[in-house]
Amino acid sequence: MSGSTPPAREGAPSKDSRPSPAGNQGRILSGIKPTGNLHLGNYLGAIRNWVAMQNNFECLFCVVDLHAITAEKIEPAELTRATREVAAGYIAAGIDPAQAALFVQSHVPAHAELAWVFNCVARLGWLNRMTQFKDKAGKNREAASAGLYVYPNLMAADILLYKATHVPVGEDQKQHVELTRDIAQKFNHDYATNLFVLPEPVIQGAGTRVMSLRDGTKKMSKSDGGSDYAVIYMTDDADSIAQKIRKATTDPNPLPESVAGLEGRAEAANLLNIYAALTGQTLEQAVAEQAGQQFSQFKAKLTETAVAVLGPINAEMKRLMDDPEEIDRALKRGAEKAKAIAGPVLAEAYKTVGFLPSA
């Protein structure tokens, strides 16, 4: 196993290694890091889309706690809380834990075990090209954790353990799904197997990239170090949502007549994008509906819409967080389902590599 160039791409391995859930379009796996409070970006850019895919795909949704510790240290109690909150957010937003496997990544040790094998498959040259590492490590690369560097190998393990056919991700994660394909292909090639399925990224709509309410050029993020007013959390009540939208940065002009008029108006574009996503309209439709409005009127409408969508989710999240045992029961069931798929795949990978089976 050598060389720093991925093997030439081939088609996906034989159909035998693909999941074939009856009546499904394939198997999806996705997850969110419990690095803080879930926000509107996580909802519109990820969870809401998963809910929509639930009936057509066999679904595995995890709370990726192993990924959560790759960046700054999180207080242990906060990590535990956030892990339950992400699970509560999934359920409250409409993921059905009886249908999908909803689980915590660290509850299925096969993720970390396969990731080690992939640490030995992925080439340094491949990892060096990962733009997320460069973004997240920033200028002080020397101080970044080794975990942050090999994060894409763990993500490859997350996906390949389940032979996921599709991976819903934001645009910024597409490179990691491509790396996953390269790892699968190199493993399959080097060990003359067709064990791993090459997954397809399903890029979630660019229109649902939610930006900070304080700076329309910056992604809304859990770890936004700036003002809390930049982020609408899924746990925010109606008053907080109203206050944050009222304080959202804008410009002095009324809303434009067309999408072209949003050029150079990042904050207006962001608020209209959010409004479009919440109302299920295209950006063009939302712009046409709000053409010529003052921000004050538009913000009132946006607040009303956001509260209507997030209010019930927020209430259900609170109910679940007050009953952690219900969350834990759902996660236990999910981990059992996940282990039933992951166990045999890990065993096959170990056997393929030549590890002596344990007695």
**Least separation in angstroms between CB 124 and ligand AQP:** 23
What type of residue is 6? P
Question: Any catalytic annotation for residue 73?
Answer: no
Alpha-carbon Rg for the chain, nearest whole angstrom, is 21
Tell me, yes or no, if 136 is annotated catalytic.
yes
Nearer to ligand AQP, 110 or 210 (CB): 210
Write down the catalytic residue from 222, 244, 299, 339: 222
Q: Which of 354, 357, 359, 341 is nearest to 58 (CA)?
A: 341
Q: How far is the CB of 257 from ligand AQP (least distance, A)?
A: 26
- Give min distance, CB of 64 to ligand AQP, in A: 6
Other Cβ atoms less than 10 A from the Cβ of 213: the count is: 25
In the bound complex, what is the minimum distance in angstroms from residue 223's beta carbon to ligand AQP? 3
Which of 10, 172 has the CB closer to ligand AQP? 172
Q: How far is the CB of 233 from ligand AQP (least distance, A)?
A: 11
Q: Which is nearer to ligand AQP, 26 or 216 (CB)?
A: 216
Between 181 and 222, name the residue whose CB sits nearer to ligand AQP: 222
Q: Are 126 and 179 in contact (CB under 8 A)?
A: yes
CA gap 19, 204 in Å, rounded: 23
Please confirm, yes or no, whether 339 is among the known catalytic residues.
no
> Looking at beta carbons, which residue is closest to ligand AQP?
45
Angstrom distance (rounded) from CA 181 to CA 201: 10
State which residue, 131 or 223, has the beta carbon closest to ligand AQP.
223
Q: Select which of 174, 218, 219, 247 is catalytic.
A: 219
Q: Closest approach of Cβ 224 to ligand AQP, in Å?
A: 7
Residue 284 has which token pair? 């063009």
Tokens of 220: 């809304």
CA–CA gap between residue 91 and residue 95 (Å, rounded): 5
222 and 37 Cβ atoms separated by less than 8 Å = yes
Question: What is the binding site for ligand AQP (CB under 6 A)?
Answer: 32-33, 35, 41-42, 45-46, 169-170, 208-210, 219-223
Q: Which residues contact 267 (CB under 8 A, 6 or more apart)?
A: 215, 216, 248, 249, 250, 251
Q: What's the full length of the chain, in residues? A: 359
Contact 281, 259 (CB under 8 A): no
Whether residue 205 contacts residue 52, with contact meaning beta carbons closer than 8 Å, is answered with: no
Residue 89 or 97 with smaller CB distance to ligand AQP? 89
- Separation CA 99–CA 118 (nearest Å): 30
Catalytic residues: 136, 219, 222
